[in-house]
Amino acid sequence: MTVAGETASREIVREKLRIPCRGDALDAELAYPAEGEPETTVLLLSPHPHLGGRMDNNLVRHLFVRAAEDGCAVLRFDYRGVGESTLRLPDGTSLF
């Protein structure tokens, strides 16, 4: 990990994923250092969707890239029904 004030210099690999979830699919992205083994693994959760939570949220996006540059394997995803993630509801049911 880098110390505050240092700049990260590692190249990273980014992979788009679709994670099956009870008949739906979560849109996700995985990032990790291009060389060497990740030092640790991070599951990065966005705020609740009612509070503007998406994996493309500015803070989530910044932390995602920075953690990968610092040597972590990082996974972020959109909740069901958010972004490209799917959400199938029974007929007559509303999410909100």
pLDDT of the residue at 48 = 80
What is the per-residue pLDDT for 90?
63
| pLDDT one digit per residue (tens) for the chain, 96 residues | 555 556 556 899 999 999 998 888 888 999 999 999 999 999 999 888 777 788 888 899 999 999 999 999 999 998 777 767 767 766 555 555
Q: What pLDDT is stored for residue 44 in this prediction?
A: 94
* CA–CA distance, 88 with 37 (Å, rounded to integer): 37
70/12 Cα distance (integer angstroms): 9
Q: What pLDDT sits at residue 57?
A: 86
Q: Is the dihedral of CA 28, 76, 19, 41 positive or negative?
A: positive
